[in-house]
Homo-oligomer: A and B are copies of this chain.
């Protein structure tokens, strides 16, 4: 349970919502596809909602759906929605720290490691959800048509 699978789950969720198009999906249905618990899904959907990527309808027939088409959602936006902290922690020192070199090294390290993280984020910002879905379509080959995704998966697992 060590690694961080939240981003994988979040993109998985967004992808499913994209397939379902305007039909809202329940956290229960999504959780089955993701092999996890509805509450875990709701926690993630809550963050996506907070970032304006998703809109949620409560009550009977409710569920979540995307606010935009997948071409207009980048993986970077999904990553940001999760509010992860900095990838690398660079503790800074107080003025009284005995080693003068250390006090200068740390801000430099913070800059460099921040840049490294930015490279990763930049890559994610250049990949749209639609691109990911297209890759999935390619892997699926021709076994499914366009609309059979939601019919074949989301509908199945919601019953």
Q: Is the CB of B12 within 8 A of A89?
A: no
Contacts of A112 in B (CB 8 A): 11, 75, 127, 132, 135
Q: Is the CB of A33 within 8 A of B99?
A: yes
Q: Is the CB of A3 within 8 A of B99?
A: no
Q: Is the CB of B132 within 8 A of A108?
A: yes
A143 to chain B, nearest CB (A): 9
Contacts of A12 in B (CB 8 A): 102, 105-106, 109
Q: Which secondary structure dominates chain A's binding surface? A: helix
Contact of A2 among B5, B11, B89 (CB under 8 A): B89
Contacts of A98 in B (CB 8 A): 32-33, 156-157
Contacts of A152 in B (CB 8 A): 100-101
Hey, what's the 0/1 contact readout for A121-159 against B, CB within 8 Å counting as 1?
011100100001001100110000000010011001100
Number of interface residues of A (CB under 8 A): 59
A108 to B12, CA, bound (A): 10
Task: Tell me if A58 is interfacial: C-beta within 8 Å of chain B.
Answer: no
Task: Tell me if A95 is interfacial: C-beta within 8 Å of chain B.
Answer: no
Q: Which residues of A in the span 60-81 have a Cβ within 8 Å of any Cβ on B?
A: 75
Contacts of A111 in B (CB 8 A): 135
A131 to B17, CA, bound (A): 45
Q: Which 8 A-B pairs give the minimum distances between C-beta atoms?
A: A3-B89, A120-B120, A33-B99, A101-B153, A5-B89, A8-B90, A119-B123, A108-B135
